A and B are shown apart, each in its own frame.
Chain A
Amino acid sequence: MKWSAGLLLFVLLLAIVGPWISPYAFQDTNFDAILRAPGFVEAHYFGTDEFGRDLFVRTLLGIRITLLVAVVASLVSLIIGVSYGAIAGYVGGRVDAVMMRIVDTLYALPFIFLVILLMVAFERNFLLIFVAIGAINWLDMARIVRGQTLSLREREFVDAARLTGVSTARIIFRHIAPNLLGIVIVYVTLTIPQAILVESFLSFLGLGVQEPQTSLGSLVNGGVKQMEAAPWMLLIPATLLAAMLMCFNFLGDALRDFFDARHSQ
């Protein structure tokens, strides 16, 4: 867990300060330096692409965008999912039944297909990616939170609060929500890699971030085209992407174990 968190922090820091270290800007082309191999000569640490753009700067930008998409999408799913699930679970009865059937219906829709349709119909909008990924992830979050709330609602401390006359809103936010915290934190760390994957997938299909902006997914996409001439264009962003995914997954697992242990004590 320490390793995962450390590596993620390092990557994040690099993505923030990195572009200042390099003399190049992410959109600058240089047709005198096309497909340079990685090296310290001319400060092209990760080499250049077919337009002579510096890959070090572009990779760091890609990490920024990828993390931004992942975090914002996870936040969207966190806010919608937790409030939706907690309300359905605590109110219960018919409200719960209707709310959860809506979730079931949304589950049945082929989301990736819908997102592709949206992207084709409207302009390729950066915002749309957040919405699309968040819309997929909040369903799982809502289900998990509802299940937890259902069992918490039966706990005696909730009865005790009702008996003293604590309002429903205060019961949900003061008594139920803090007890959901563990599982929600864990689930968020597990949705981040999911969001990264979806974003990469969309970018790989050419439906994600638009040039000259870039993300790890589009970099991999660009790398695939030059795989034979310049394998580093594929290997570097792909390795980074895989490493970050693994870190998030390890972190999520570790957090889950941590909260499990505290609950079982």
Chain B
Amino acid sequence: MSLLEVNNLRICYGDTAVVDDVSFVVRRSESVGLVGESGCGKSQTALALLGLLPRDASVSGSIRFDGAEIANTSQRQLDEIRATRISIVFQDPMQALNPYLRIGQQLRQILLQHNLARGTDADEKVIAMLARVGLPDPKQQFHAYPHQLSGGMRQRAMIASALIARPDLLIADEPTTALDVTVQAQILELLEELRDDTALLLITHDLGIVAGRCERLLVFEAGKLVESGPTGAMFAAPASDSMKRLLKFAPRIDRGAILPPAEGKTVLSVEGASVSYRDASHRELRAVLDVTLSLRQAETLAIVGESGSGKTSLVRALLGLIPMHAGRVVYAGQLLEGAVQTRAAAQRRDLQLVFQDPVSALNPQMRVQSIVSEPLRVHAGEQTAQVRLARVVAILKKVGLNESFLHRFPHQLSGGQAQRVAIARSLILEPKILICDEAVAALDGSARDQVLELLRAVQRESGLSIIFISHDLAVVRSISHRVAVLYLGRLLEVADTALLFSEPRHPYTRALLDASPVPDPLVPTHAAPIKGEVPSLLSPPSGCVFHPRCKFADGVCSDKRPLLREIAGVRVACHHAEVLLKHP
């Protein structure tokens, strides 16, 4: 018998339906993946199941849970169902946990509310649950506030609170999107391990996450359920265009063409760069330490790393947006130094940046035309308005936007269009080096693919050199010639893309590769490759910064900082690189 039965579900805001005529079932103890691009109505559906939609949403159709109708039911009935029968894990645990209550109190509240335990018995149950989700020292963490936990630990606490009342159905709405890839692997493994016979509805935009984990899939597009079926069959023979598109645009770390190394001369070199910050209590944070890199003509160099790796700090310092503490940057034989305002106009023109979030990178009060033409005003003042307009139209055409976009405001653009406007602004001065800071991280499949293709095309035509910052190895594989791996501000490995993906030398690179989900149910999912999370920059580990999480670490690793050295064509900072190369 099915646990959850949704029939003709329709969710409207005013006259617009965000979910329309959706019907599906979830059986007891099965795991179902719900996939779709952003804005397809998947989260709205999840909220409707729990009766958590805002007041101005109107829900019609039927949601039967364990035989009882719960769509448009009373608040009281919902209270009885939530937590004990259906519970949810949200994307951002910092938003979902109450910042003013201790972790233990928040979990105990659930037990007390539903009369599942009282007094010390409740405390013990909570501590046991925290231990099960892998919080170290659960007795202490019982008294911790959410902000005192790391992102991964917070999500573990959130899962503990979702599972403590042993619900029949667990909804996980993008549970790992806000987390680093190595932590994502741990959390997904934990969800699988702990749910026992709890049914799981896993909502995600990432096919790699559902591929090896869910028995069945539901594919949403524009508020409609377009395809459903067993995972294996849907990957092997997708029936709907949506699923075909999702599969086509899901980047893979295990296949696809890799660009050969670029042969051009070096255009930019960074030597011994260090960047430091001071936090609110004036403690020094070394965001980047002693990084040496070079970039060739017409080359794409990817900089890869998890949060706190210093990849953004490095390029911001290089561009002169923040001060560089030590080291030097040489561009075209000249030293790049000082804040961006004090640099020569030609240097500013030749180095351009594309930001992660196109919405915040475009001034909301300016039209596309003024946004894209502004660099021209600054750098080529003598041009007439017509000449400028012609150049704007030409560059927009190049990024795939026609003249009708000239008079739009940023909020009238989709994410992909906005990013293309931002790229047009960066390219209009014909820079020599383009730095893309997570430029495709906020984009869905097809939009991401178009932007990547655009970058490749511009590089082919004009010999543009690109520094491509990303946390996503699958994307990096498809665009870069060379990859640099950063961890806690230190450079751990630099290798040609083909070598890095086939023979990763550094244990951290290996872990990153193993943790990256593959959108293919036939590829076995790895067990979470490394434990723990990225340590705080305030107290970086001694010796090799990666040693506390490394399974090959020994005494040398905690004592001595490994220097970057060249082994068989790859620069790597690991004491045991030779040994690991022979014994994979």
Contacts and interface: CB of A to CB of B under 8 A. Distances in A.
Nearest to B376: A164
Interface stretch (B43-51, B128-136, B352-360): B352-360
B361 A165 contact: no
A161 B319 CA distance: 13
B462 interface: no
Contacts of A175: 363, 366
Nearest to A162: B340
A164 B429 contact: yes
Contacts of A161: 363, 374
A166 B319 contact: no
B54 to A, nearest CB: 13
Given A156-B357, A163-B353, A179 B363 contact: yes
Interface string B414-430: 00000000100100010
Contacts of B411: 265
A108 interface: no
A156 B360 contact: yes
A160 B364 contact: no
B268 to A, nearest CB: 16
Contacts of B349: 164-165
Given A156-B361, A157-B361, A157-B363, A163 B319 contact: yes
B187 to A, nearest CB: 29
A164 B361 contact: no
B362, B365, B366, B378: residue with the most chain A Cβ atoms closer than 10 Å:
B365
A164 B379 contact: yes
A163 B361 contact: no
Contacts of A164: 348-349, 352, 374-375, 378-379, 425, 429
Interface in A161-185: 161-166, 168, 175, 178-179, 181
Contact of B362 (A157, A168, A265): A157
Nearest to B377: A166
A163 B379 contact: no
A28 interface: no
B363, B366, B378, B379: residue with the most chain A Cβ atoms closer than 10 Å:
B363
Nearest to B364: A179
Contacts, number: 59
B355 A166 contact: no
A155 B361 CA distance: 7
A161 to B, nearest CB: 7
A163 B340 contact: yes
A260 interface: no
B412 to A, nearest CB: 10
Contacts of A163: 319, 321, 340, 348, 351-353
B355 A156 contact: yes
Nearest to A161: B374
Contacts of B374: 161, 164, 166
A178 B378 contact: no
Interface in B286-342: 319, 321, 340-341
B329 to A, nearest CB: 15
A257 interface: no
A159 interface: yes
B365 A160 contact: no
Contacts of B457: none
A163, A165, A175, A179: residue with the most chain B Cβ atoms closer than 10 Å:
A163
A165 B363 contact: no
A164 B353 CA distance: 9
A239 to B, nearest CB: 38
A155, A175, A181: residue with the most chain B Cβ atoms closer than 10 Å:
A155
Nearest to A181: B365
A48 B228 CA distance: 83
B345 interface: yes
Given A156-B355, A178-B365, A162 B360 contact: no
Contacts of A156: 355, 357, 360-361
Contacts of A178: 363, 365-366
Nearest to A175: B363
B350 to A, nearest CB: 11
Contacts of A155: 360
Contacts of B362: 157
B378 A165 contact: yes
A165 B425 contact: no
Nearest to B362: A157
Nearest to A155: B360
A165 B360 contact: no
Interface in B346-400: 348-349, 351-353, 355, 357, 360-366, 374-375, 378-379
A157 B375 CA distance: 13
B348 A159 contact: no
A160 B425 contact: yes
Nearest to A159: B321
B379 A157 contact: no
B500 to A, nearest CB: 30
A208 to B, nearest CB: 39
Contact of B361 (A160, A166, A181, A265): A160
B422 to A, nearest CB: 8
A155 B366 CA distance: 14
Given A175-B363, A179-B363, A159 B375 contact: no
B419 to A, nearest CB: 12
13 contacts: A155-B360, A157-B363, A159-B321, A159-B355, A162-B341, A163-B352, A164-B352, A165-B348, A165-B378, A166-B378, A175-B366, A178-B363, A178-B365
4 interchain residue pairs of minimum CB distance: A178-B365, A156-B361, A164-B375, A157-B363
Interface of A: 155-157, 159-166, 168, 175, 178-179, 181, 265
Given A163-B353, A165-B341, 6 more contacts: A157-B362, A160-B353, A160-B355, A164-B378, A164-B429, A166-B374
